[in-house]
Amino acid sequence: MAYTQGLAAHLFDLLLCRWTYRQCCQKCWDCLRQSSSEEDIEILGPFPAPPPPWLLDERSDDRDGDSDLALSDTTLPSDTPLMPHEFPEWRRSSDASHFSFSRHLSRFESRRGSRSPSIDVVSLEAWATTAHKEIVQPLLPRRSFHFHTNYFCKIEPELYSVNSESDELDSLTDDELLSRYQLGSLHFSTQYDFRHGHLAVRIIAARDLPLPFTHDGSHQDMAHSNPYAKLCLLPDLKDSRQTSVKRKTQNPVFEERYTFILPYMEAQKRTLQITLVDFDKFSQHCVVGKVALPLCEMDLVKGGHWWKPLIPSTQNEVELGELLISLNFLPCAGRLNVEVIRAKQLLQTDILQGSDPFVKVQLVYGLKIVKTKKTTCLHGTIDPLYNESFSFKVLSGCLEDISLVFTVYGRNMKSSNDFVGRVVLGQFPSGSTEHTHWHRMTGLHRTPIQQWHSLRSRTECDRVSPASLIVT
């Protein structure tokens, strides 16, 4: 039955196509016969050749009755000179042909109807010889722009300069930098070890460091000068090292050695940056100054020692550290598995022992805290290794309303714990990195997704994430 219906449908389509083709062919044939019955038309230019013989055999009604109208439309002004080939016989033939062309065009427009807008066609002869030519596009008045006297004075050239400050610093000597900024100087050494394939950097000492500032801009005493150094290889700011804090001194002696594992050719492309920071337990750490030295300018094989002046740093706030987190969602079991793997380069909260960091993980549903869990506290380190897992019961339909708040604290036995940094993932993320991690986890169920996150301050998280406001 289905085969018979399909065959009938195909036969019907074939007959419909044949009928349509026949109708089209019939219309084309009718148009061709009608156009062949009319006289052929040749459109002549402004200075055409003499008319052909067939044009001289026009019907008498076109030549006698309608020629006056055509001549009145195309008559040249009296002061216009005639061309050598413009004889009266040719002129009458040309006017007749123009009228015949206009008549055929009017017939064609009447048959076509109002499907498209009508076009007023004027022959090239009439356009070239008419005194008043038709304006195709009207000219609009152009608005003039008046410059003020102080227009160019508003441009600030320093905004368009490229590395003008760095170029100026490169032109100054070390003594000139030291006397200009008066931030002290740093003693360090570098050498590349080909046997082990790493770059060794030794932070030796610093001298003549300035006293830290208070919030009102005045200098504090030496008791509040607690410097330490952070070093990294640009452009990689994440892989950094940090010395211990030296208490109550403007001339600290560090004598600490650090290594960076990388090939020799890669080391030649890096820039060693050492930043001196002043420790403050009750507020943000203050950046004293920095030293930036391209390694391509050094003899890394031979090695050497340098005293370099500190220059101001554009980085006013010290990074709080990073946290490595793994997320895994099991929709069938309704479980959200969270693993706190490790942290690195955490902000130091204790001058003597470094830090005793731990991580608090809080599950927030909407704007309500549902569950809180903590990792163990690791003593005397700023690079803790946790590898601790937590499991939260979360249904598949509720996953889009869940937020995870990770807060790193430094344990303080005498008072409340010291806040180090925070990140928020889920419904109200604290940044684009956190949003990307959560989106990858929801797209790949039953697969652990690991990602590093830069810790943010409490103020920054509270400003962008409502979930950060309700946690303690």
CATH superfamily of 322-470: C2 domain (2.60.40.150)
Q: Where does the pLDDT of residue 72 fall: very low under 50, low under 70, confident under 90, or very high at 90 and above? A: very low
With 0-12 / 13-18 / 19 or more C-beta atoms within 10 angstroms meaning exposed / middle / buried, residue 145 is exposed
Distance, in Å, from the CA atom of 65 to the CA atom of 267, rounded to the nearest integer, reads 99
Check residue 56 and give its pLDDT.
Answer: 55
Spell out the alpha helix ranges (H) of 229-332.
264-267
User: Exposure string (b/e) for 278-291, b if CB count within 10 Å is 16 or more?
Assistant: bbeeeeebbbbbbb
Domain with CATH 2.60.40.150 in the chain: 164-309, 322-470
SS3 75: coil
Instruction: Inform me whether the pLDDT recorded for 161 exceeds 50.
Output: no
The secondary structure of residue 153, as a DSSP letter, is G
* Segment 190-247, tens digit of pLDDT: 999 998 889 999 999 999 888 776 555 555 555 568 888 988 888 877 678 888 888 8
Q: Where does the pLDDT of residue 444 fall: very low under 50, low under 70, confident under 90, or very high at 90 and above? A: confident
- Which is nearest to 429 in space by CA: 464, 395, 454? 464
Top-confidence residue, 140 or 182: 182
Q: Could you confirm whether domain 164-309 is CATH 2.60.40.150?
A: yes
pTM for the whole structure? 0.51
Give 29's contacts (C-beta < 8 A, 6+ positions apart): none
